[in-house]
């Protein structure tokens, strides 16, 4: 009996020792919905104090003698999970965490000062020392990876007729989602490898994209996409008071005015990569503001930002966005200031209804080989984004050797899945329909047909107007583009047309030449050149009764070149004829028998256009280039027109000078102000169609370059100055009103003012009757010192796309047919 007892005790001790021996645990923790890795997650044994945290890529690894039968992971905002451990010496245990959809904690009221506030004051005091923009220059190699997925793929969604052909593909989605994750359908993935350069004075950036790999559904222009996926557009600096994200200004949690927007909790102190850090919880004071919630880690030794894990919830005043999550890891440079070495951004685009899909955008950026304070020559930064000649031609071997982080098995499967999906006929049709809606053209081989808004109109001159247009695409040529349209009116029985061609001579300093010939109907004061690119306003102005219509034949030859960065010069030779379809005459000459009237005229002009936009960013898209703005700098335009009498049958000699400046001004809590200031003068006597006939608006639609309550042809002048101003208040004021804040409406204020003058000499060209003795309509003149003025107020973002404003006319209220109050609408899609 004693032997049995001794044997049992020996077996128990030996078995316990075997069970208690040190084991290796590793794995990865990801978001079950998005598949993104979760950094800084607590990993520990259940009912034990021992544990670790995941790194920036969601990985963990440690050795331990387990004193529990399970391993647990927990993270704020996610449901805590546990998994059983085994007796194996090396165990890989992966976790997929579900969002628990709980909101951040309420702001706490403390009887004494919050200890986190002391840390924040030191962070702000040390910003100038730790901000990377303190460096005179820096450069690094950057790796960027972007993936777009369709999520919320329900059974009902799979049964839709358009999706049924993709069913076989959807069956393999589990390979991407994992056993416990939500299925997603990838539609785009890209990688880029580039060298990024920054210069402090003057502030310049340059990126040379050395390699780019793009795979996506409906993505044909690899060169354009390759310019968009580099580090230039993934710069997120929390040391700035306001950080531009999704074209919105978000308040940084370490902004100078942090206390107006945030509260904080000091939750922990811990070592991160050997550096002792404070862990601060960031809590928005108002969830509707464009602010962040989550965590930041601050180094104790110099109060620098070391890590960031922040989110923007669906309560924020953003459209179509359910969630924004940004994670960042920063490291000090040899000169002191910190640079991000890894950044991960996730944007979840909201599903419209529970049974409809949404979108996920996942962006990852890493930096290595950082060098500081070694500026390049100034001319090196001339072209902000440059695509290397062989950037799109690298094979898989190159990528395997040069990407900063190897692709996971899931990401490798994404490439194969996208190739399969985009070859399905139903998907090709859907992509084509979306492309037509967005661009207005349908691609047929080497030609794009459109644009569709101008296909049909009905008015009193033409009756039913039908129009068909086209332009060649890069499949036809990357140097030459032809375009045009043909239109026919059933009432006037006349054919109208435009035929044009242009040649791109240089892309480095964008240079092009072109020629155009056009015959069509126009309306005085509503010329296409004045209306600009507002297709809805231009198309609607062709319906109903046309005001002062005329037929015009116009021929143009032009040349354009960007002489240096931001400075573009254009020279145009233009010949026009004016043939009115309403009573019109002007005093052409006078002799002993009296005045000589003419009811038509022609002009031959030389036009010089100068444009300067400092720091403007352009992307080249095949045969055109796209402006991405110039970061708040004003844009200047100057135009000089010289009319040449007797040249090519011209009846008029005149000179005209115009100047225009516009700018968007970020105003922090007050949103964004946008102004456009314009002035001009005509130095000669001209028929009144050549005067500045100020753009009125008798349509129900708002357009920013028109005077909203001014009638067509109400005012004309030969010298003038005007100001259009819009204040977009975003959520200011409305975010603080209960219930109203949930609508996410945004206030917008408008003010337009104009003063002009018409000389006696130009007035003398206006006879009371035309050459047939018919009374002529005249326009109003500006009283001395009294400008035309109007103000508007209203809301935008109604139902996420409508802008509705009420306008009041402040002056000239007694003019004939004056419209002193009106409501205008506009469709606009903004985040």
Does the pTM of the predicted model rise above 0.85? no
| Secondary structure of residue 564 in the 3-state scheme | strand
Q: List Cα–Cα distances, 661 to 502, 611, 636, 707, 788, in angstroms.
A: 28, 10, 5, 17, 20
Query: Could you read off the pLDDT of 114-125 as tens digits, one per residue?
Result: 889 999 999 999
Percent with pLDDT over 90 in the chain: 39
Element (H, E) at 338: strand 338-349
Reference 214, options 394, 446, 449, 439; nearest CA is 394
Structure tokens at 367: 């930096």
Range 510-537 average pLDDT: 83
Which string of DSSP letters, residue by residue, matches 639-684?
EEEEE-TTGGG----EEEEEEEEEEEEE-GGG-EEEEEEEEEEE-S
pLDDT band at 627 (very low <50, low <70, confident <90, very high): confident
Residue 760 has pLDDT above 70, yes or no: yes
What CA–CA distance (Å, rounded) separates 807 from 751?
Answer: 9
**Nearest CA among 521, 528, 468 for reference residue 491:** 521
Query: Domain 507-827, what architecture?
Result: Beta Barrel (2.40)
How do beta strands 821-827 and 802-809 pair? antiparallel
CB 637 within 8 A of CB 611: yes
What's the CA dihedral at 52, 53, 57, 58 to 10 degrees?
90
How far does CA 164 lie from the centroid of its chain?
A: 33
User: For residues 349 and 148, is the Cβ–Cβ distance under 8 A?
Assistant: no
Compute the average pLDDT of residues 513-522: 95
Q: Where are the domains of the chain?
A: 2-97, 136-430, 507-827
Left (φ > 0), alpha (ψ -120 to 50) or beta: where does 594 sit?
left
Tokens of 598: 């003419």
Q: Which residues of 153-181 are buried (b: 16+ CB within 10 A; e: fewer)?
A: beeebeeeeebeebeebbeebeebbeeeb
CB-CB contact of 496 with 521 (8 Å): yes
Question: How many Å apart are CA 645 and CA 636, to the nearest integer?
Answer: 30
Cβ 176 vs Cβ 391: under 8 Å: no
What pLDDT does residue 673 have? 92
Q: What is the pLDDT of residue 123?
A: 94
- pLDDT at residue number 616: 81
CA-to-CA distance for 811 and 808, rounded, in angstroms?
9
Neighbour-count burial for 787-815, b at 16+ CB within 10 Å, e otherwise: bbbbbbebbbbeebeebebebebbbbeeb
82 Cβ partners below 8 Å, 6+ apart?
A: 46, 70, 71, 72, 73
Q: Helix (H, G, I), strand (E, B), or coil: what is residue 427?
A: helix
Check residue 775 and report its DSSP letter. B
pLDDT tens-digit series, residues 368-422: 999 999 999 988 988 888 888 888 888 889 988 998 888 877 777 777 777 777 6
275/229 Cα distance (integer angstroms): 33
Rounded mean pLDDT of 269-288?
87
Domain 2-97, CATH: 2.60.40.1120
Classify residue 165 by its DSSP letter.
Answer: G
């Amino acid at each position: 009996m004693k032997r049995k007892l001794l044997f049992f005790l020996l077996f128990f001790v030996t078995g316990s020792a075997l069970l208690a021996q040190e084991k290796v645990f590793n794995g990865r923790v990801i978001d079950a919905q998005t598949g993104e890795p979760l950094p800084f997650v607590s990993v520990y044994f259940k009912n034990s104090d021992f544990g670790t945290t995941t790194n920036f890529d969601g990985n963990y690894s440690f050795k331990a003698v387990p004193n529990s039968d399970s391993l647990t992971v927990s993270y704020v905002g996610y449901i805590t999970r546990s998994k059983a451990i085994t007796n194996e010496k090396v165990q890989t245990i992966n976790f997929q965490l579900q969002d628990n959809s709980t909101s951040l904690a309420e702001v706490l009221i403390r009887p004494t000062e919050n200890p986190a506030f002391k840390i924040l004051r030191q962070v702000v005091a040390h910003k100038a020392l730790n901000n990377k923009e303190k460096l005179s220059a820096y450069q690094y190699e950057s790796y960027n990876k972007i993936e777009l997925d369709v999520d919320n793929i329900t059974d009902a969604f799979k049964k839709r007729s358009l999706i049924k052909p993709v069913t076989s593909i959807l069956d393999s989605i589990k390979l991407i989602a994992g056993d416990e994750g939500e299925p997603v359908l990838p539609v785009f993935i890209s990688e880029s490898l580039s060298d990024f350069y920054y210069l402090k004075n003057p502030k310049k950036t340059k990126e040379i994209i050395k390699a780019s790999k793009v795979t996506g559904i409906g993505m044909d222009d690899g060169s354009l996409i390759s310019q968009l996926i580099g580090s230039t557009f993934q710069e997120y600096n929390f040391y700035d008071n306001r950080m531009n994200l999704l074209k919105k200004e978000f308040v940084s949690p370490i902004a100078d005015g942090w206390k107006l927007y945030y509260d904080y909790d000091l939750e922990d102190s811990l070592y991160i990569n050997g550096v002792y850090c404070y862990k601060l919880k960031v809590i928005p004071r108002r969830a509707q503001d464009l602010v962040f919630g989550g965590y930041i880690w601050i180094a104790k030794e110099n109060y620098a930002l070391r890590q960031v894990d922040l989110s923007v919830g669906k309560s924020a005043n953003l459209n179509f966005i359910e969630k924004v999550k940004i994670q960042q890891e920063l490291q000090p440079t040899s000169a002191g200031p910190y640079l991000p070495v890894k950044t991960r951004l996730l944007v979840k685009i909201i599903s419209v209804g529970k049974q409809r899909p949404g979108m996920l955008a996942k962006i990852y950026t890493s930096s290595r080989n950082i060098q500081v304070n070694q500026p390049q020559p100034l001319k090196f930064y001339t072209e902000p984004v440059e695509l290397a000649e062989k950037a799109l031609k690298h094979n898989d071997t190159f990528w395997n050797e040069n990407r900063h982080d190897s692709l996971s098995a899931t990401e490798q499967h994404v490439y194969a899945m996208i190739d399969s999906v985009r070859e399905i006929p139903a998907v090709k049709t859907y992509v084509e329909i979306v492309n037509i809606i967005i661009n207005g053209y349908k691609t047929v081989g080497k030609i794009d047909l459109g644009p569709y808004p101008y296909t049909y109109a009905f008015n009193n001159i033409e009756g039913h107007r039908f129009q068909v247009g086209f332009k060649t695409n890069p499949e036809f040529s990357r140097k030459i583009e032809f375009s045009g349209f043909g239109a026919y009116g059933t009432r006037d029985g006349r054919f109208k047309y435009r035929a044009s061609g242009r040649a791109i001579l240089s892309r480095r300093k964008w240079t092009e030449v072109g020629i155009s010939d056009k015959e069509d109907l126009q309306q005085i004061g509503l010329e296409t050149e004045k209306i600009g690119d507002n297709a809805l306003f231009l198309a609607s102005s062709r319906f109903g009764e046309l005001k002062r219509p005329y037929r015009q034949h116009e021929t143009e030859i032009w040349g354009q070149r960007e002489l240096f960065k931001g400075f573009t010069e254009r020279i145009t030779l233009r010949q026009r004829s004016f043939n009115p379809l309403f009573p019109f005459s002007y005093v052409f000459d006078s002799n002993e028998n009296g005045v000589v009237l003419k009811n038509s005229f022609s002009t031959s002009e030389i036009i010089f256009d100068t444009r300067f936009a400092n720091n403007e960013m352009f992307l080249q898209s095949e045969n055109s280039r796209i402006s991405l703005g110039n970061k708040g700098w004003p844009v200047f335009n100057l135009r000089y027109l010289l009319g040449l009498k007797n040249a090519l049958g011209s009846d008029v000699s005149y000179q005209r000078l115009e100047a225009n400046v516009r700018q968007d001004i970020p105003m922090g809590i007050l949103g964004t102000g946008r102004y456009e200031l314009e002035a001009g003068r005509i130095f000669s006597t001209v028929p009144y169609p050549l005067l500045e006939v100020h753009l009125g608006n008798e349509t129900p639609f708002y357009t920013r370059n028109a005077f909203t309550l001014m009638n067509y042809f109400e005012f004309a002048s030969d010298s003038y100055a005007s100001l259009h101003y819009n204040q977009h208040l975003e959520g200011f004021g409305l975010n603080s009103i209960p219930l109203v804040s949930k609508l996410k409406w945004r206030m917008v204020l408008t003010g337009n003012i104009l003063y002009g003058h018409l000389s006696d000499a130009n007035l003398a060209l206006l006879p009371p009757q035309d050459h047939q003795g018919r009374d002529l309509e005249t326009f109003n003149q500006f009283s001395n010192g009294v400008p035309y003025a109007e103000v508007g107020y209203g809301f935008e973002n109604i139902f996420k796309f409508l802008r509705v404003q009420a306008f009041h006319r402040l002056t000239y209220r007694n003019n004939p047919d004056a419209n002193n109050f009106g409501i205008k609408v506009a469709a606009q899609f903004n985040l």
